[in-house]
Amino acid sequence: MAAPLSFAAPHCMSSMSPDPNTDPPPRSPLATGLSGRCPRCGEGKLFDGYLSPARACQSCGLDYGFADSGDGPAFFVMTAVGFLIVALALVVEIAWRPPYWVHAALWLPLLLGSALVLLRLMKGVLIAQQYATRAAEGRLDGSGG
Ligand SMILES: [Zn+2]
């Protein structure tokens, strides 16, 4: 008889679980994410480049190997910016009926600028939330039980 499949519980991720004896008090995922700082200590940089996470925190040594926000930041930013830009473009079109080059001159820079700025902020927040909630991909637990 095959062992029943179950997903590993968060206690299996002890490498990123906070230790109350050595870890600093928990930080706000929103504050650390928006500032691009380490979700554990709030000091070290979270990003190595513009969007790529660093390997580990320079301050407390937290391994950022758990940080995988996937397509989450892109989805949220695309949805929010898309709704905003389309709504603004419709209002401008209905109110003034400008030529198409005016739409392109208005919305393309606003679209690119806001998406690039929000993408980094959203990625930081989602990685910090991932740390705070110990979220990770599900794994098969071979213990059978
Ligand atoms: Zn840190």
Which residues lie closer than 8 Å to 66 by C-beta, 6 or more apart?
13, 15, 16, 130, 131, 136
Ligand 1 centre from 46 Cα, in Å?
Answer: 8
Higher pLDDT, 101 or 7: 101
The yes-or-no verdict on residue 139 having pLDDT over 50 is yes
1-19 per-position pLDDT tens digit: 444 444 444 444 445 555 6
Over range 58-87, report the average pLDDT: 94
Give residue 44's Cα distance to chain centre.
17
The yes-or-no verdict on residue 126 having pLDDT over 70 is yes
For position 12, what pLDDT does the model report?
41
Residue 66 three-state SS: helix
Q: Which amino acid is at 33?
A: G
The yes-or-no verdict on residue 54 having pLDDT over 90 is yes
Q: What is the average pLDDT value for the chain, to the nearest integer?
A: 86
The yes-or-no verdict on residue 82 having pLDDT over 90 is yes
Exposure class string for 52-74: b at 16+ Cβ within 10 A, else e? ebbeebeeeebebebbebeebbe
Ligand 1 centre from 58 Cα, in Å?
Answer: 7
**Ligand 1 (ion): which residues have CB within 5 A?**
38, 40-41, 44, 57, 59-60, 62
Whole-number percent of the chain with pLDDT over 90: 69
Backbone CA torsion sign across 39, 52, 119, 116: positive
For position 9, what pLDDT does the model report?
41
In angstroms, the Cα distances linking 3 to 9, 12, 145 are: 17, 19, 8
